[in-house]
Amino acid sequence: MAKAAIASPWKNETERKTERALKREAVLAAAAHVFSERGYHRVSLDEVAQALNVTKPTLYYYFKNKEAMLFACVQHGLDMLEAAGSAAEGNGRTRLVAYLEGYAAVIETDFGRCAVRISDAELSEASRKKVRRIKSEIDRKIRQLVADGIADGSIASSDPKITAFALAGALNSIGQWHPRPSQPADRKLVDEYINLLMNGLAPR
Amino acid sequence: MAKAAIASPWKNETERKTERALKREAVLAAAAHVFSERGYHRVSLDEVAQALNVTKPTLYYYFKNKEAMLFACVQHGLDMLEAAGSAAEGNGRTRLVAYLEGYAAVIETDFGRCAVRISDAELSEASRKKVRRIKSEIDRKIRQLVADGIADGSIASSDPKITAFALAGALNSIGQWHPRPSQPADRKLVDEYINLLMNGLAPR
DNA sequence: AAACTATGTTACTTCAAAGTAGAAAAGCCG
DNA sequence: CGGCTTTTCTACTTTGAAGTAACATAGTTT
């Protein structure tokens, strides 16, 4: 496939479509950043616009309204959470730990924090429905990993359902507490966290 | 101490003070209920007033403004969390479990859910400071219990600080998920939850 | 009774922020 | 060029909810 040796300054339709998509993503990233940091209601679209060096009506060119923007952020975050650590191999326990680590990593991103911190009550009924679908998909996934672990003897648990809920909840709390996560410290936090969940506090 | 055989319809100053305090508490309870269920911003004071069969200005007779109401809710919730399970005796582990159970019970109340769900970014700087003080007091308390358990050999943990953070976070997530907690199911949830935290998922 | 205090109401004002109309640039194409 | 589409802007309307002024009512005290 021959590509133009020098990039043409003129854009064909495909390129323009791509550029529009990129701008839309930039809006989303800016929104996710402030939403996750300060919360949906406390952020005005004027602020989002300012952060991007444009004016508010421009945002409306890319999104129907503020809620659509929020929904896109949450959805993206949830999609990332669902896709976390899917490549892992091994017994239930190994795969579960891999997934939890991936999950924790996502939660440290703006989109992940949006997905975790934003209450679905902010969303319209239609959006909420979609969000719930992805959330229960994630829940199902964790539950499956726990069940696999129980089956192969690598995990002890009496109730995969509650366990899955507890695991997700515990990790989500990482996203709640401090608004500005410091990169180096968090690695240890997450490791310790997962270690606690897997091994508990009982003395050996 | 002789008490009036029949309640007098006339009130002395003390009684009036009490009545005012009761009404103030009623406002607070109504506010905590809706705040914890739907979130601070999505609740209007007109709604709170309506739930109490009064009008909005009446609320301003009992609270300076909306934020003062929120702060009172959060503070009350945090105070309850701090006081949870303080009476327990035994080794570190026993006392920790007792505290966590109390903590979980508080989180199922409106005030507890307020304390846990409301982001401190909603509050003014002054209120936030006070909130943070109580929160770190709670954190210190859990940390102490963990440390005690480590000292007496009833708990295995490499880092009381992170452990305390994880424990609180995991329990807090109970308050996040479902807006309408069903009483009977939750007991099992909480037990399972605490069991997971104490014993982990490792097979014996 | 008259004055005072506590409690509540009606009927506003104010304000921030969402959303919009319509024009102006900028880029593309016959 | 002159018209077409895409993108962005300026300048506005609208709205929802916080907060307030000023009055009404009733109980309390002198």
pLDDT value for B178: 61
How far is C-alpha B151 from the chain's CA centre?
29
pLDDT band with cut points at 50, 70 and 90 for residue A201: confident
Q: With an 8 Å Cβ cutoff, are A173 and B169 in contact?
A: yes
Distance CA B176, CA B36 (A): 9
Q: Write the pLDDT tens digit of every residue in A58-108.
A: 999 999 999 999 999 999 999 999 999 888 899 999 999 999 999 999 999
Q: Write the pLDDT tens digit of every residue in A179-196.
A: 555 566 678 889 888 999
Q: What is the CATH number of domain B71-199?
A: 1.10.357.10
Residue with structure tokens 């515990």? A170
Burial of A29 (0-12, 13-18, 19+ CB in 10 A): middle
Please tell me the pTM assigned to this model: 0.89
Mean pLDDT of B96-105: 97
Distance CA A115, CA A68 (A): 14
Q: Residue A130 contacts by C-beta under 8 Å, 6 or more apart in sequence? A: A71, A75
Does residue A177 carry a pLDDT above 80?
no
Q: Residue A156 contacts by C-beta under 8 Å, 6 or more apart in sequence? A: A150, B199, B201, B202, B203, B204
Q: Write the pLDDT tens digit of every residue in A116-142.
A: 999 999 999 999 999 999 999 999 999
Mean pLDDT of B93-99: 97
Distance CA A173, CA A186 (A): 13
Does residue A10 carry a pLDDT above 90?
no
Q: Write the pLDDT tens digit of every residue in A32-68.
A: 999 999 999 999 999 999 999 999 999 999 999 999 9
The Å distance, CA of A57 to C1' of D4, is 22
Residue with structure tokens 């219990």? B145
Q: How far is CA B80 from CA A40, A43, B111, in A?
A: 28, 31, 8
pLDDT value for A203: 78
Q: With an 8 Å Cβ cutoff, are A200 and B204 in contact?
A: no
Does residue B136 carry a pLDDT above 70?
yes
Does residue B1 carry a pLDDT above 50?
no
Distance CA A188, CA B75 (A): 31
Distance CA A170, CA A192 (A): 12
Query: Which B residues 146-165 touch A at CB under 8 Å?
Result: 146, 149, 153-159, 162-163, 165
Q: Are A137 and A83 in contact (CB under 8 A)?
A: no
pLDDT band with cut points at 50, 70 and 90 for residue A178: low
Mean pLDDT of B39-57: 97
Q: How far is CA B198 from CA A105, B141, B157, B172, in A?
A: 24, 17, 11, 16
pLDDT band with cut points at 50, 70 and 90 for residue B2: very low
How far is C-alpha B98 from the chain's CA centre?
16
Q: With an 8 Å Cβ cutoff, are B38 and A121 in contact?
A: yes
pLDDT value for B11: 55
Which positions on strand C lie below 7 Å from a protein C-beta? Answer: 6-11, 16-22, 27-29
